[in-house]
Amino acid sequence: MSKKEKNIQIQENEKMLNGKQVYELATQDGEVVGTVTEEESRFKAVNHNGEQMTLASRDEAYSWILRAYHLHH
């Protein structure tokens, strides 16, 4: 039996942490899905499991985080 499809809204929150701009992706319930920080000309993404990936753009980082979240929920 397959899982019932459910829509989840994700919010982008901008924060300053230790002098760096941090983009936090969170559900409506406040569950943090992942974070993205810019390091030099690359973007470091950390998903909800703590796994890290460095990507070329913020959009790629968001996509990577959301794919990982979708696989586990």
User: Higher confidence at residue 45 or residue 70?
Assistant: 45
Number of Cβ within 10 Å of residue 22's Cβ equals: 16
Q: What is the pLDDT of residue 8?
A: 80
| DSSP-based three-state secondary structure for 62 | helix
pLDDT top residue among 1 and 25:
25
Q: Provide the CA 61 distance to its chain's centre, in angstroms.
A: 7
For residue 6, the surrounding DSSP H or E stretch is: none
Torsion of CA 57, 63, 68, 72, to 10 degrees: 160
pTM of the model: 0.84
Q: Is the pLDDT assigned to residue 13 strictly greater than 70?
A: yes
